[in-house]
């Protein structure tokens, strides 16, 4: 080959490479779009306003990135089917994040468009009329289904930083489920979501969603106007109404049904830390928790005014605060608590846990009020007889004429937002005795959001610390409390352990135990433990499970955590579990006489084992501890502990599932204490 031909070949080869690189992306000019956007053509670079016409369908496959090169809209008059998959989402984003793009705009689109496993970010709504509403999604007389989506870092100059819904020619009733609406902002109403309906219904059905860290002037998380939206099994946390009402939800003439929702850490500058309702009729909150919400003025958790008659049924209203009146609830003029039943109100700060301002007649029954800073009931229209102890309830506790009690509810761990009842709580069986309200175990209704299950002799509880738990790709750990309680008249021998359900549904473990615990009647034992998650653990959502077997009965509890990424291939190793031991009864508080008198390393249990065993050690004083396992050749096969531990009894779980049968040694180094013991793995 001569030099000229050689040079021409190089140029041709280079051009081929360039064409190949360019072919890995698809440029979409402004105009109508339809058909299928496949992953092989991703990213799709949007260079103008695009529209799905009324008679067309646009399908988007998993793994596609839709990248808007300017402030352009995706208008949907037809059908949009953006169906990602778990671990293979569809991304809608902007090339220039400060300018953003103009979001997905459903305009009089037919029902049944679907967004599934989509990430929608950097939408910026500004302009005239509806253009300045709905940062990521705007629904005008449209009802798409949005599921398993993440809607974050969007904003609007008007309403609905994340999602905006309105109805002009027909209803707008989107279904939103199992989605995260976080970190969005609106200049006026509804940082996360805003609905506005006048002539036609705007009734979103929102379930199993996380609506958190959003902000707006009013309605930091959600703003609702008119009609009957439903919000169920959602967490509405840490939203802010920066200069107005309703940190979590602001409702104007809407009548929401709130079912099994949690409102935690929301705030507002004026009224209604979690909820502010004006002219809302008979909205209902059932089995909801309101905790640590704050308002600058009235209604630390809830503020209602003018023709609003809310019902609170089996709720927990705890540790909320207001700058002025109603640390828990403020009931304004021409309002009343229509039904207030089986609800705990405790630890709220402000003038009165419930403040009545010229309220209509309120019915408050079978509830528990405790430790509220400045009285339980204040204001100008406190119902006669409320709070006056004149009789006893079915448990024999003093109560008022409405069977309200005024005792510590004995919650599991308020500091970790665990509002379940401890055994011995006066709230157990103290709710409305009408059999139609009985708990699922068939016993009389309990007061509060979570009933105490009396269907088995021993109950196990898990309380995760510092939720939500997110483990980085390089691995990490989380703390939790495990508790076992014997409610049976007889002493129970309990076997307890923990395992983990992986993202693919398989079970790994035990990662802690099994341990044997002897519990006397009425005895409860709790321990704080630390679970390590290795770098190679697969990406996804895990369920951490605890079990307690007593005879033929098994109690179970669980919580979830998320692993963001995976690094490495040996995910079976490194699931170390350390913390307080169940081998000895735990005194509270711990005194110097109850601490170990010397360092010691206990024999593993069980021994022989297959594939897990528990190693225990005792520290006389706080020490830097290293606990390692070696095979018979002296090769270290596991490092179970490497760090400071407090004085006391500790445990670590060793998993030999990746090792062969044989003799192994485990060694502890703690200060000057150095000791080795043997154990046998038999498969």
Burial track 570-604 (b if 16+ CB lie within 10 A, e otherwise):
ebebbbbbbbbbbeeeeeeeeeeeebeeebbbbeb
Gap between the terminal Cα atoms of the chain: 66
Cα 553 to Cα 78: distance, rounded to the nearest angstrom: 55
The closest of 54, 153, 70 to 109, measured between CA atoms, is 54
pLDDT of residue 620: 83
The closest of 504, 513, 515 to 538, measured between CA atoms, is 504
| Same-domain status, 225 and 321 | no
Query: Is the torsion defined by CA of 653, 657, 658, 660 positive or negative?
Result: positive
Question: At 132, phi and psi to the nearest 5?
Answer: -100, 20
Place of tokens 């049904």: 257
Place of tokens 């009957």: 228
Q: Are 583 and 518 in contact (CB under 8 A)?
A: no
Cα 196 to Cα 211: distance, rounded to the nearest angstrom: 18
What residues of the chain score a pLDDT lower than 70?
Answer: 1-23, 583-595
| Same-domain status, 477 and 379 | no
pLDDT of residue 87: 85
Q: Are 377 and 340 in contact (CB under 8 A)?
A: no
- Domain residues for 425? 270-455
The closest of 464, 440, 203 to 314, measured between CA atoms, is 440
Looking up residue 507, the CATH number of its domain turns out to be: 2.60.40.3880
| Same-domain status, 127 and 79 | yes
Cα 280 to Cα 535: distance, rounded to the nearest angstrom: 50
Whole-structure pTM value: 0.84
| Same-domain status, 447 and 464 | no
Q: Are 251 and 226 in contact (CB under 8 A)?
A: no
| Same-domain status, 141 and 239 | yes
Structure-derived torsion over alpha carbons of residues 273, 275, 281, 284, reported in degrees to the nearest 10? -130
Peptide bond into 222 cis (omega under 30): no
pLDDT of residue 11: 37
| Same-domain status, 312 and 446 | yes
Residue 449 belongs to some domain of the structure:
yes
Residue 591 belongs to some domain of the structure:
no
Q: What is the CA radius of gyration of the chain?
A: 29
Cα 312 to Cα 299: distance, rounded to the nearest angstrom: 15
Residue 313 belongs to some domain of the structure:
yes
Residue 487 belongs to some domain of the structure:
yes
Q: Give residues with Cβ within 8 angstroms of 309, minimum separation 6.
A: 281, 282, 335, 336, 337, 338, 360
Q: Give residues with Cβ within 8 angstroms of 464, minimum separation 6.
A: 416, 478, 479, 480, 544, 559, 561
Give the domain-ending residue among 544, 575, 606.
575
| Same-domain status, 288 and 405 | yes
Residue 97 belongs to some domain of the structure:
yes
Place of tokens 């390692």: 628
Give the domain-ending residue among 245, 279, 303.
245
Q: Give residues with Cβ within 8 angstroms of 660, minimum separation 6.
A: 681, 683
Q: Give residues with Cβ within 8 angstroms of 593, minimum separation 6.
A: none
The helix or strand, by DSSP H or E, that contains position 560, with its residue range, turns out to be strand 553-563
Quote the Cα angle for 515-519-520, to 5°. 165
| Same-domain status, 390 and 518 | no
Q: What is the largest CA-CA distance in the chain?
A: 110
pLDDT of residue 614: 87
The two three-digit tokens of residue 129, written as one number:
């009329």
| Same-domain status, 109 and 213 | yes
| Same-domain status, 447 and 485 | no
Q: Are 334 and 307 in contact (CB under 8 A)?
A: yes
Place of tokens 């949907």: 76
Cα 182 to Cα 213: distance, rounded to the nearest angstrom: 5
* Beta-bridge partners for 483: 461, 526
Give the domain-ending residue among 433, 455, 477.
455
pLDDT of residue 593: 40
Residue 257 belongs to some domain of the structure:
no
Residue 480 belongs to some domain of the structure:
yes
The closest of 313, 319, 233, 229 to 274, measured between CA atoms, is 319
The two three-digit tokens of residue 669, written as one number:
């180094």
| Same-domain status, 416 and 478 | no
Task: Tell me how many domains the chain contains.
Answer: 4
Residue 508 belongs to some domain of the structure:
yes
| Same-domain status, 365 and 503 | no
Q: Are 453 and 443 in contact (CB under 8 A)?
A: no
The closest of 276, 134, 281, 288 to 218, measured between CA atoms, is 276
Residue 217: exposure state from Cβ atoms within 10 A (0-12, 13-18, ≥19): buried
pLDDT of residue 583: 64
Q: Are 530 and 443 in contact (CB under 8 A)?
A: no
Cα 151 to Cα 130: distance, rounded to the nearest angstrom: 19
DSSP string, 414-461: GGGTEEEEPTT-TTTT-S---GGG--TTSSPPPSSSS----SSSEEEE
């Amino acid at each position: 080959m001569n030099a000229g031909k050689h040079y021409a070949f190089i140029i041709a080869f280079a051009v081929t490479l360039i064409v190949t690189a360019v072919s890995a992306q698809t440029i979409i000019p402004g105009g109508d779009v339809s058909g299928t956007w496949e992953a092989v053509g991703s990213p799709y670079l949007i260079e103008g306003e695009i529209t799905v016409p009324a008679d067309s369908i646009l399908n988007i496959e998993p793994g596609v990135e839709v990248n808007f090169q300017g402030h352009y809209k995706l208008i949907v008059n037809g059908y949009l089917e953006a169906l990602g998959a778990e671990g293979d989402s569809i991304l809608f984003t902007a090339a220039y994040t400060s300018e953003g793009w103009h979001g997905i705009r459903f305009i009089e689109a037919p029902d049944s468009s679907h967004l599934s496993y989509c990430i929608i970010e950097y939408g910026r709504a500004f302009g005239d009329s509806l253009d300045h509403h709905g940062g990521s999604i705007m629904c005008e007389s449209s009802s798409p289904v949005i599921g398993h989506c993440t809607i974050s870092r969007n904003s609007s100059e008007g309403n609905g930083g994340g999602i905006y819904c309105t109805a002009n020619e027909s209803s707008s009733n989107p279904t939103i489920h199992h989605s995260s609406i976080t970190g969005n902002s609106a200049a006026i109403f509804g940082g996360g979501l805003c609905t506005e309906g006048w002539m036609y219904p705007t009734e979103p059905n929102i379930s199993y969603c996380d609506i958190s860290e959003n902000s707006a002037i009013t309605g930091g998380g959600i703003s609702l106007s008119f009609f009957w939206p439903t919000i169920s099994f959602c967490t509405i946390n840490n939203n802010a109404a920066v200069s107005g009402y309703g940190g979590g939800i602001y409702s104007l003439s809407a009548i929401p049904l709130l079912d099994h929702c949690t409102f935690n850490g929301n705030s507002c500058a004026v009224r209604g830390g979690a909820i502010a309702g004006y002219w809302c009729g008979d909205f209902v909150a059932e089995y909801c928790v309101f905790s640590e919400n704050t308002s600058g003025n009235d209604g630390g958790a809830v503020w209602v005014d003018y023709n609003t008659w809310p019902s609170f049924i089996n709720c927990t209203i705890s540790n909320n605060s207001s700058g002025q009146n109603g640390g828990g609830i403020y009931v304004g003029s021409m309002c009343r608590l229509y039904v207030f039943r089986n609800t705990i109100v405790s630890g709220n700060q402000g003038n009165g846990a419930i403040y009545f301002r010229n309220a209509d007649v309120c019915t408050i029954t079978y509830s528990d009020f405790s430790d509220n800073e400045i009285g339980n009931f204040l204001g100008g229209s406190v119902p006669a007889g409320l709070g006056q102890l004149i009789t006893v309830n079915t448990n024999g506790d003093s109560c008022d004429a409405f069977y309200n009690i005024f005792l510590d509810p004995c919650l599991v761990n308020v500091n970790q937002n665990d509002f379940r009842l401890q055994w011995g709580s006066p709230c157990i069986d103290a709710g409305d005795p009408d059999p139609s309200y009985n708990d699922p175990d068939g016993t009389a209704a309990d007061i509060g959001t979570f009933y105490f299950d009396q269907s088995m002799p021993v109950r196990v509880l898990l309380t995760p610390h510092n939720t939500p738990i997110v483990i980085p790709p390089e691995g990490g750990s989380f703390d939790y409390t495990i508790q076992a309680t014997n409610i049976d008249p007889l002493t129970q021998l309990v076997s307890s352990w923990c395992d983990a359900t992986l993202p693919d549904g398989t079970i790994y473990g035990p990662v802690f135990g099994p341990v044997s615990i002897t519990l006397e009647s009425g005895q409860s034992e709790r321990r704080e433990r630390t679970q390590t998650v290795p770098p190679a653990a697969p990406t996804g959502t895990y369920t951490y499970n605890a079990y307690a077997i007593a005879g033929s009965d098994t109690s179970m509890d669980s919580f979830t955590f998320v692993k963001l990424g995976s690094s490495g291939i040996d995910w079976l190793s490194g699931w170390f579990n350390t913390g307080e031991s169940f081998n000895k009864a735990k005194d509270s508080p711990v005194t110097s006489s109850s601490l170990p008198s010397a360092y010691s390393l206990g024999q593993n249990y069980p021994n022989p084992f297959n594939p897990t065993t528990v190693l225990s050690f005792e520290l006389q004083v706080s020490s830097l501890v290293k606990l390692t396992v070696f095979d018979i050749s002296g090769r270290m096969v596991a490092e179970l502990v490497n760090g400071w531990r407090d004085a006391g009894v500790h445990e670590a779980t060793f998993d030999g599932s990746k090792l062969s049968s044989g003799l192994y040694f485990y060694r502890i180094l703690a200060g000057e204490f150095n000791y080795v013991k043997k154990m046998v793995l038999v498969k």
